[in-house]
Amino acid sequence: MAYKSGFVALVGRPNVGKSTLLNALLGTKVAIATPKPQTTRNRIVGILHRPNAQLVLVDTPGVHRAEHKLGEEMNRTARLTAQDADILWHIVDLSRSPNQEDQWVADLCQKSGIPTWLVMNKADLVEDVKARWQPYRALMSYQDAFVISAVKETGLARLVEAAIQALPEGAPYYPEEMVTDQSEDFYVSEIIREKVLELTREEVPYSIAVVVEERVRRRPELTYIRATILVERDGQKAILIGQGGRMLKDIGRRARADLEAYYGHQVYLDLWVKTRERWRDQEAWLRRLGYTPSES
């Protein structure tokens, strides 16, 4: 049997479960996933290896109405990633009705001319699946449709098998042991950002970014990490630090627990908070933080 390989882009509006699905399919956490919309800000590659195929899954930021340059770049990342895929999975949340953002994504898929499958997620929250899928199927002419639950891991095997069947013949794109293309610093910064998303509310989670300033293995059993959380206003800085430094300690404690599990040894996490006014609207910051996608 000829070897098959290719790219599947996971596109959809925010919060439908794209990153949860990516992690479930890989069996390991490569992308952070939280109950807050606009969690993912980058293109995140996850690689599924099979004896006769390599399925490259690409998670993208949720397509939304952007209010900052950051949001525009996130939408652009989703658009550019979709243009390069062999198959598009339009992920939707079956427990909700389609909205304008779902329509934007469907239009983007339609315009790309790339085969697009409707992947209806969160089926575990829905009683009458059939009654719910009609309005979604009407968004565009999908090549195929699947009902899944990323959290309960139902319908996933069928989805992957179908994708592998549909892949073009070709050599693998990535080496066999590789699960993701993201750097260690990126992963570390995302874990910290995830904790901020979990612990803060309103504008704060959206106004932050995390920069890993230093990461060294000080001893065989200890990694030292110094990271800065950027905020846009001093008021947000005060919230992130919290009374008596309690919030920052909480963020650090949770992030450290995850990072120690990841490294398999002790982590010393040195967290700082800095105000950088309106960084979300500044090209230079977006570039430095890795939020500006390249054209290919």
Ligand X SMILES: Nc1nc2c(ncn2[C@@H]2O[C@H](COP(=O)(O)OP(=O)(O)OP(=O)(O)O)[C@@H](O)[C@H]2O)c(=O)[nH]1
Among 4, 8, 11, 15, binds ligand X (CB under 6 A): 15
Whether 85 contacts 111, CB under 8 Å: no
CA angle 255, 92, 105 (to 5 degrees): 100
Cα 62 to Cα 43, 54, 248, 257: the distances in Å are 11, 25, 28, 28
Nearest distance in Å: CB 76, ligand X: 14
Nearest distance in Å: CB 89, Mg ion: 13
Instruction: Give the binding range for Mg ion (CB under 5 A) out of 38-46, 63-71, 261-269, 272-280.
Output: 38-46
The pair of structure tokens assigned to 197 is 């998303």
Tell me whether residue 20 or residue 236 sits nearer to ligand X (CB atom). 20
Ranked by CB distance to ligand X, the top (closest) residue is 62
Q: Give the orientation angle of helix 184-199 with respect to helix 246-263, to 10 degrees.
A: 140
Establish if 39 lies at the interface with Mg ion (CB under 5 A).
yes
Closest Cα partner for 38 from 9, 58, 68, 8? 68
Give the one entry of Mg ion, ligand X, none that residue 81 binds, where binding means its C-beta sits below a cut-off of 5 to 8 angstroms depending on kind: none
Nearest distance in Å: CB 292, Mg ion: 18
Establish if 77 lies at the interface with ligand X (CB under 6 A).
no
Among 11, 16, 55, 58, binds ligand X (CB under 6 A): 16
Site for ligand X in 112-171 (CB under 6 A): 121-122, 124-125, 149-151
The pair of structure tokens assigned to 277 is 């006014």
Whether 33 contacts 20, CB under 8 Å: yes
Helical H segments across the chain, by residue range: 18-26, 69-83, 100-112, 129-137, 156-166, 184-199, 234-241, 246-263, 283-288
Nearest distance in Å: CB 93, Mg ion: 12
Rounded Cα gap, residues 41 and 51, in angstroms: 32
Site for Mg ion in 4-23 (CB under 5 A): 18-19
Nearest distance in Å: CB 3, ligand X: 30
Maximum CA extent, the chain: 63
Tell me whether residue 37 or residue 172 sits nearer to ligand X (CB atom). 37
Rounded Cα gap, residues 75 and 150, in angstroms: 23
Amino acid at 257: A
Instruction: Give the binding range for Mg ion (CB under 5 A) out of 33-41, 109-117, 124-132, 153-161.
Output: 33-41
Tell me whether residue 39 or residue 223 sits nearer to ligand X (CB atom). 39
Give the one entry of ligand X, Mg ion, none that residue 48 binds, where binding means its C-beta sits below a cut-off of 5 to 8 angstroms depending on kind: none
Interface residue list for Mg ion (CB under 5 A): 18-19, 39-40
Interface residue list for ligand X (CB under 6 A): 12, 14-20, 33-35, 37-40, 61-62, 121-122, 124-125, 149-151
